Amino acid sequence: MAYAGNVTYGGTTIREDLSELISIMTPADTPLNTLLDSREVHDTYYDWAMDELSTPTAVANSLEGVTPTRAAGAEVVRAVGSLSIVMQSVHVANSRRAVKEAGMSDAYNYQVWKASIATMKQMEYNMHWGVSTTVVASDSAARSTAGLGQWILYQSTLGAGNNDYKINGKEFDNYRNAPFYQATPADLTRTELHTTLGSAWQNGMNIDGSLLLCGNELKRVISEFALVYGAGTSPTARRAQRFKTMDETIDVFSSDYGDVYMNMDRYMTAATTLDYPISVSANTTDKQSSCFFLIEPDMYHRTVLRGLSHVPLAVTGDSTEGFCVAEMGLQCDNIRAGTGGTAAVA
């Protein structure tokens, strides 16, 4: 049979020059897994508490020596978090393990390495867009963690007592911010971004030092109106002609409410339609690429029941099998420590 490799001089005894380097073409960054601190949990569901203080709405003064009016004590809200299991299988024929391959000493170990990266990328996606509406009572259904999209974006139409809008069976209507939201997609403007920041600040979010996650096109819009152009999305450049470089990038957006740090996020670039609000027949038509998240990083945590691990199974027939697995979730300590926007497109 004729040889199909790349050879010269007839290829009788000359080896082809195949590099020992294997280049992985797919991006492997996982910003949330890298940025957020980890908390160890010991059950598939875990609890924490949130409470708030009353806000004065009018001038109120009391007479001397009177007994204050008795008021019913407000209950502390107990939040529930859930964990997501992610698995990636590994299956390699033993013949392939015996063959000498460029770039790897053992084909199975190489596939385990690839599966471990794929597992963490899938977990990262779940931490962005995961949805969890009810507590799973049995092992017949897969658990899901509530991702940033659920904690932040589907808040705008919440109504108390509406069972469709619960996270793991809990209502958080009284704790939510109203994010920037439009019924139809429209360009994000500087005014709208400031409105989002102002609303979140008014509700108690610490804007200074917060992190804004968005896709590349939305990041470009923010960079342009922040540095180069006039108000909103004005096309009039304000950069002096003496400058030889037209800057169209910004890493920190300094606002009246504090500095916001920008991060371009690959998990927010898809044209996938959002499934928010949950369980509603007419879901919003917003896309992942038209959303941005704004969070206080120290108020969100990666919860870990089982860290990433490789589980060897057995030699099945003439092959070796195993899988990589992780069981993690996303915890939000303060529902008001995050806001965001939808229907904002380049």
DSSP result, 260-307: EEEEE-GGG---PBP--STT-SS----BGGG-EEEE-GGGEEEEEEEE
Residue 325 has a pLDDT of 97
Can you read off the two tokens belonging to residue 229? Answer: 């152009």
Q: Which amino acid is at 8?
A: T
Averaged pLDDT for residues 3-16: 67
What pLDDT shows up at residue 224?
75
pLDDT the model gives residue 305? 96
What lies within 8 Å, CB to CB, of 218 at 6+ separation is 188, 268, 289, 290, 291, 292, 344, 345, 346
Q: Which of 214, 205, 192, 226 is nearest to 262 (CA)?
A: 214
Give a three-class secondary structure readout of 113-133. Answer: HHHHHHHHHHHHHHHHHCCCC
**pLDDT tier, 235 (very low <50, low <70, confident <90, very high otherwise):** low
Higher pLDDT, 46 or 75: 46
pLDDT attached to residue 40: 95
pLDDT for res 125: 95
d(CA 271, CA 243): 37
Indicate the burial class of 193 (C-beta count within 10 angstroms; 0-12, 13-18, 19 or more).
buried
More confident residue, 222 or 239: 222
Q: What pLDDT score does 39 carry?
A: 94
- Of the candidates 326, 317, 323, 308, the residue with the CA atom closest to the CA atom of residue 108: 323
Split at pLDDT 50, 70, 90, the class of 64 is: very high
Q: Which residue has the tokens 């007419």?
A: 282
CB 290 within 8 A of CB 343: yes
Which helix (H) or strand (E) covers residue 200, if one does? helix 190-202
**pLDDT for res 221:** 81
Which residues are 61's β-sheet partners? none
pLDDT mean over 101-119: 90
pTM score, whole prediction:
0.84
Q: Is 221 helix (H, G, I), strand (E, B) or coil?
A: helix
Q: Is pLDDT at 159 greater than 50 in this prediction?
A: no
Confidence of residue 207 (pLDDT cuts 50, 70, 90): very high
pLDDT above 90 coverage of the chain, percent:
31
For range 32-50, the mean pLDDT: 90
* Window from 8-17, 88-97, 115-124, 177-186 with minimum mean pLDDT: 177-186
162-176, 191-205, 267-281: least confidently modelled range: 162-176
Cβ of 133: how many Cβ atoms within 10 Å? 16
pLDDT at residue number 11:
64
**pLDDT tens column, 249-278:** 778 888 899 999 999 999 999 888 776 554
**Contact predicate 41/305, CB 8 Å:** yes
